[in-house]
Structure 1
Amino acid sequence: MNDWTHGYNIEQGYTYGVYRELAPDWIDVCAMLAGFVAPSEAGQGRLRYLELGCGQGFGLALIASAYPDIEFVGVDFSPEHIAHARGLARAAGLDNVRFVEADFLDLARAWPPELGRFDYAVLHGIYSWVPADLRHAIVGCLGEALVSGGLAYVSYNSMPGWAVMQPFQHVAARLQARSALPGAQVLNQAVSLFQRLRSGNAALFEALPGLGGRLDGLKELSSAYLVQEYLHENWHPLWFSEVADEMRGAKLDFVASATLPENLLPAMLPEPVRAVITEIADPLAQADVIDCAINQSFRRDLLARGRRRRFSAAPGAADLLVEALARPAGATVAIKTSFGEFTLKDQIYGPVFDALESGPKRISDLLARQGGQSNVLQGLILLAHGGHLAILKEGHRDFAPGQRFNQACAAAVLTGAPYNHVAAPAIGSALALRDVDLMLLALRGQGTAQNELAPKLLESLGRLGRKLLRDGKPVDGDEAQRLADELIDEVVANRLPVWQRLGVVP
C-alpha cells in the first residue's frame, strides 16, 4: 500500500455525506446550552472555519453556502477528494471556501502561515481510523489552528459500543490484506463467513449477543461507507477519557456533546444507574461509565481551546430562537436517542408548536408560556434532535449563495451525481431530499414549464438507465406518467412551500 495512505483504504472515494452537527450554528447552540461562550460571540472580525479530512468536500461546500459571512478551508490528503471539492465549489460560484491537499503529518511539523488561525476546527470520524502518530499530528494541527476560545468538533467510533464488532472488523481487514478482490466483495465474504458461524451456533454469538443484529444491519448500508468503515489497517474505537487526555496536548477541554440529548445525561438515566455514576468523582471516569451505561458507539465531542463560562447574568441559551420544522402528526411523538427512545406527549410539544405558528420564538418565551418547567427545555432539545424544530442564534443571512449551490447540485444529479442534500440557509443547515426532488429542482431552475416537468423527469431518468418505482417495482408507459404527475403535484403542494421557507429555493 502506498505510504501516503497511512494504511487508510482509498479503494473507493468517501461518501457525499452531510452532518448537521458540523454547522457553526449547531456547534454554537450546543456550547451555549452547556453554559459556555460561543466563538461567534467573541466579536473579533470575520469567523474562520477549518475541516480536517473534508472528504469529497460536499458537506463543507454546502455549509459554506449557507454561511457566506464565514471563511471556510477544507483539508484532505486525497487528490480525488480535493479535485471533486474544488469542482463543486467552482460550479456553485462559492468564493468563501477553498480546499487544500495536505497531509496531517506535514501540517503538524510546520503549520503553513497562509492557512492562519480558525474559530472552528472540525473532523468527522477520522480520529478512530488512523494510527497513533497521525492522531498525535491531528492534535498538533488543532493546537496550531485554533484561536484562544475556539471550538473543536471531534467525532469518533467509541467504546464500549464498538466492542461487539471488533471480531468482524479484524477478520474482514485480514481477508482484505491477503486478497486482490475489491473491498465490497471481501466484505460480502466476511459477512457470509460470520453468518455461517452464527448458523452453526458459534460461541462468539452467545458471548456477544448484539453481533448478529449488527451484521444484519450491514445490508442497509452503502458499500462505499462499509469499505471506509471496516477495511483499514488502523481501526481503533476509543474511550472518551483516552481522547480527552490526548486533546489536552492542544490545550483543549471538553465543553459539550454535539449530540444534543447526550447533554441531558446522566439525569435522564434510571435512578439506580444515576446513583452509580454520581458516586464517581473523576469527570473523565464518570463520562466513561456513562458511556458504559448507554453502550455508546459514536461520540461527537466539542472541545474548547480556553473554555469561557458564561456569567450568570449574561445573555445565553434562553435567548436562542426556536423555529418549527415539522410538527408531529399524532398525540405523541417518539424520539430516538443513543440511550433509548423517549415518547413526548402533545401536552409538552403542542403549546410549543402553537406558539411557533406565528414565527420563531425565544426559548425564554416558550418556557415562560409553560411556567418555566424544566421538562419543556428537555422537550425542545429532544425535538431539535428529532428534526422537528431548529434551535438557532439570532441573525440574518444572504440566501443567494445557498440557492446557487442547490441549483448546481440539482443540475449535477441530472447527470448522475449521488447528492441527496441541499442547503437550507434559513436554519444554517442541510435538508435531505430524494434524487427525484433534486431533478425537479434542476428542471424547474432551467425554466421548464410545470406541464413539461413529468416528461422531462422521465427523460432524465431514462438517460441514467433508471425508472420511477411504485412499491419498489419499476413502472413504464402511462403508469410512469401518472406516477410522475403524482410526484410533481406532491412536491408543488407540500414540499416546495417548505423549501421556500427554509431558503432552499427562491
Structure 2
Amino acid sequence: MGWDHGYYSHSTYTSAFFRELAPSWLDFAALIKGHCPPRGEEGQPFRYLELGCGMGFGLCVLAALHPEGTFVGIDFNPSHISHAEGLSRRLALTNVRFLEADFLALAEDPSPLGPGPEFGGGFHYVAAHGIATWVRETVQQALFFVASAALRPAGLFYCSYNTLPGWLGRTTFQQLYELERGRSDPAEPKVPLRRAIAGLKALLGTVDQPTALRHAIPQLEEDLAGLDPEQFDYLCGEFANEGWQPLYVADLHRRCMSHKLHPLGTATLPEAFDQLLAPSIQGPIFAEANSLIRQTMIDLATNKSFRRDVFVKGLDPLTLQDAEMRIGGLGLRPLHLPSAPSEGPPSFSFGTSFGQVHGDPDVYGPIVERLASRGCTVFELQQHSGQSAAELLMVLSLFLNAGWIGFDRSRQAGAGKLITQCQRCNGVLMELIAGGRPYASLLLPEVGTALPVSLVDVLIHKAMDQGLQEPMLSTCVLMGLDQMGVHLLAADKSPITDPEAKLSRLQALIGDFREYRLPILWRLGGLPSPKERQPRSAQRRSRAPAPK
C-alpha cells in the first residue's frame, strides 16, 4: 500500500465552496437542536479545522470572510497543499495555514494541529466534506479519532458522506468502472469512464424493452446521465478510490459515537424537521423512538443519497429561555427573495430531499415581506409574522436552504474593514477565474457566505467594468470565451455552435447577471456599488444641495 492508502491521488480534486461549512450555518444547525453553539455571538474569535481540505479554495473563502477566525487545512496530497498555500498568498490571508499530513499519522501524533483541549486549545469547528466514504475504514477511523481529539468540548463536527440506499445504483457504475480501469491504458484515463457509462447504459435496455437491471434500479438511467467524463477530476475523486463505500446512516453514526462524537443534527436544514416528510410515512417514523432506527427509516423512505450530519463532542443543551434569546437575536439579510407575482397570490414551493414542500401564502407571505427590507432579527420577524418559534424556524430553514436569505454580519465590529478586504479578494479571484482557474464563487462579506458565479459572469463584469455596451459587450465576452476554448452550453449541456444561438444564450446570461448576481454583490459588500466607485469629488457634488 502506497502513501495514498488506496485513495486516488493521480489528479487533483475540484475547487468548490460549500455554504454549509460556514460557522454561522453550523451554529444555526446546533441551535435548532437546542445545543449551545461553540461561539457566544457572531464575530467572536474561533478556531476551525478542515480535514481533507483538498485544493483549499473553500477554506480560503471562509478565512477571508471571517478574519476573527483561525483556520487550519489538512490534506495528504502535496499538490493540494501547494495550490492551497499559493491561493492564500495571492489573497494575502494571514489567518489560515495548510498542513500536508496523513490521518493515520495524526492519529498517532496530533501535535502538528497545535495545542489540544487539554492545554486550553482545540478547535470550535472541525469539518470533513465527503471524505468519510472515499477512504478505507482504517483511515476513516483515524479521521474520526483526529476530529474528536482536535475538538474542544461542545465543539461541532461536520461530516458529509454518500449514503445508502440512494447510492445503490451508482455502486453498479463504480464496480464496472473499477474493472475497466484495470484493463485500460493509464495514458488515456477518460477511456474507462466512457466505457463504464456506455456499457451500463446498454445493460438497461430500453423503456419499451427494459432489462431486469432497469426494473430493479429505475433511477440508474438518470444517475448515469449526470456522469460527465469531462468532469474527470471530480469523477476520479468520487469513484476511483479503493476504499470507496457508501454507508447507511446507522453504520456511520455508530463509528462516530465510538470516538465521543454524538449525532446532533444536520446542516441540510430542512431535514431537521421531520414534519416535512410526506404524511403517508410520518406515522411509522414518528412512532420510532430509537434514533438510529428512525434516521435509517427516513433515509430508506426518501432514498437518501447524501447526508451533511453535525456531531458534537459533549452536549451543552440550552434552556428554553436561552434558546429563544440566542435564536431571537440572530440577524437575517435577504439574498434573493422571490418577487410578488403581477396577478394572483404568491406561490411558495421548495425542493427538499423529503420531496416538494408547499408553503401557505398567508403564513409565508408576511415573512417574505418583512425580510425584503434591509434585514431584521428573528425576534423582529416573529413579532411581525405572529408565528410560533418552532414554525418560524422551519420556514427560515427552508428559506436558507433555498438561498433566499443569509445571516447578517454587517453589525459586528470591523464590518467596513471586512468589506474592503473581501472586495480586494474578489478582485483577485475574478482575475484568476478570467485566467482559467476553476473557481466558481465570490465573497459576500455582509452575510458570511459566497455567491456562485461562472467564468461567463466574470467576463461579463470585466467588459461592463470597461464601460462596454451592446453589441460590443456580447462580442467581447464571446471573444474571451473563444480564446479560452470554452463553449456556451444549451439546456441539454451540449455545446452551442450556431452564432445566433450563441448570441441569444449569452444575452440571456448577461440579463441574469445584471438582474440577479450583480445587485447581490453590490448590496452585500462583494463589489463596490457604482455610487461607492465615484471619485470623492463627484460624491461631494452629488450630495451638494441644488442651487436656488
Same fold? TM cut 0.5: yes
Per-residue CA distance 1:192-227 (angstroms, 9 max, x = gap): 111111127432222222222222232498232222
* TM-score, normalising length: structure 1: 0.91
Equivalences for residues 482-493 of structure 1 within 5 A: 491=513
1:288 to 277, 283, 296: 296
Cα distance in structure 2, aligned partners of 1:58 and 1:262: 27
Q: Matched residue of 1:289: which SS?
A: helix
Cα distance in structure 2, aligned partners of 1:24 and 1:324: 19
1:134 aligns with: 139
Q: Matched residue of 1:198: which SS?
A: coil
Cα distance in structure 2, aligned partners of 1:215 and 1:485: 31
Q: Which moved more, 1:208-217 or 1:41-50?
A: 41-50
**8 A Cα contact 2:167 2:246, kept in partner:** yes
Cα distance in structure 1, aligned partners of 2:507 and 2:235: 36
Per-residue CA distance 1:315-361 (angstroms, 9 max, x = gap): 22232222211122442132111110112343333212221233212
Q: Matched residue of 1:74: which SS?
A: strand
Cα distance in structure 1, aligned partners of 2:303 and 2:505: 44
Cα distance in structure 2, aligned partners of 1:473 and 1:498: 29
Q: Matched residue of 2:320: which SS?
A: coil
**Per-residue deviation, 1:433:** 1.1
Cα distance in structure 2, aligned partners of 1:197 and 1:470: 28
- Whether 1:189 aligns to 2:195 is yes
Per-residue CA distance 1:219-259 (angstroms, 9 max, x = gap): 49823222221122111111222222211233111111000
2:419 to 387, 392, 399: 399
- Kindly provide the amino acid, as one letter, of the partner of residue 334 in structure 2: A
Q: Which has the higher contact order (CA 8 A, sep 6+)?
A: 1
1:211 to 211, 215, 220: 220
Per-residue CA distance 1:264-318 (angstroms, 9 max, x = gap): 01x2224452221233232112211121121111111111111111112112223
Q: Matched residue of 2:321: which SS?
A: coil
1:88 aligns with: 87
- Whether 1:125 aligns to 2:98 is no
2:382 aligns with: 367
**8 A Cα contact 1:76 1:82, kept in partner:** yes
With over 3 angstroms needed to count, the CA separation of the structure-2 counterparts of 1:118 and 1:281, relative to structure 1, is: same
* TM-score, normalising length: structure 2: 0.84
Cα distance in structure 2, aligned partners of 1:347 and 1:220: 46
Instruction: Give structure 2 stretches of 5+ with no counterpart.
Output: 116-121, 529-548
Q: Matched residue of 1:422: which SS?
A: strand
2:520 to 487, 498, 501: 498
Q: Which moved more, 1:318-327 or 1:94-103?
A: 318-327
- Kindly provide the amino acid, as one letter, of the partner of residue 404 in structure 2: H
With over 3 angstroms needed to count, the CA separation of the structure-2 counterparts of 1:457 and 1:207, relative to structure 1, is: closer
Q: Which moved more, 1:177-186 or 1:78-87?
A: 177-186
**8 A Cα contact 2:155 2:314, kept in partner:** yes
Tell me the matched-pair count: 501
Per-residue CA distance 1:436-479 (angstroms, 9 max, x = gap): 222344567xx734568666545543432446679863576x99
**Per-residue deviation, 1:79:** 1.0
With over 3 angstroms needed to count, the CA separation of the structure-2 counterparts of 1:147 and 1:489, relative to structure 1, is: same
Cα distance in structure 1, aligned partners of 2:422 and 2:125: 20
- Whether 1:176 aligns to 2:186 is no
Per-residue CA distance 1:172-210 (angstroms, 9 max, x = gap): 112213322444321210111111111274322222222
Q: Matched residue of 2:50: which SS?
A: strand
**8 A Cα contact 1:30 1:257, kept in partner:** yes
- Whether 1:34 aligns to 2:50 is no
1:380 aligns with: 396
Cα distance in structure 2, aligned partners of 1:470 and 1:179: 32
Equivalences for residues 24-423 of structure 1 within 5 A: 24-41=23-40, 46-113=45-112, 115-116=114-115, 117-181=122-186, 182-199=188-205, 201-219=210-228, 222-265=231-274, 267-314=275-322, 315-329=325-339, 330=341, 331-373=346-388, 374-392=390-408, 395-396=411-412, 397=415, 398-423=418-443
- Whether 1:4 aligns to 2:3 is yes
Per-residue CA distance 1:41-63 (angstroms, 9 max, x = gap): 18997311010001111111111
Q: Which moved more, 1:353-362 or 1:385-394?
A: 385-394
- Kindly provide the amino acid, as one letter, of the partner of residue 351 in structure 2: K
Cα distance in structure 2, aligned partners of 1:262 and 1:7: 33
**Per-residue deviation, 1:168:** 2.1
Q: Which moved more, 1:152-161 or 1:193-202?
A: 193-202
- Kindly provide the amino acid, as one letter, of the partner of residue 273 in structure 2: L
Per-residue CA distance 1:127-165 (angstroms, 9 max, x = gap): 011111101111111122111111110010112211222
Percent of matched pairs sharing the same residue: 33
Per-residue CA distance 1:18-54 (angstroms, 9 max, x = gap): 1110111111111112211111118997311010001
**Per-residue deviation, 1:505:** 1.1
Instruction: Give structure 1 stretches of 5+ with no counterpart.
Output: none
With over 3 angstroms needed to count, the CA separation of the structure-2 counterparts of 1:379 and 1:244, relative to structure 1, is: same
Q: Which moved more, 1:375-384 or 1:249-258?
A: 375-384
**8 A Cα contact 2:154 2:314, kept in partner:** yes
- Kindly provide the amino acid, as one letter, of the partner of residue 496 in structure 2: K
Q: Matched residue of 1:151: which SS?
A: strand
Cα distance in structure 1, aligned partners of 2:113 and 2:264: 29
Q: Matched residue of 1:4: which SS?
A: coil
RMSD: 2.8
**Per-residue deviation, 1:12:** 2.6
**8 A Cα contact 2:441 2:451, kept in partner:** yes
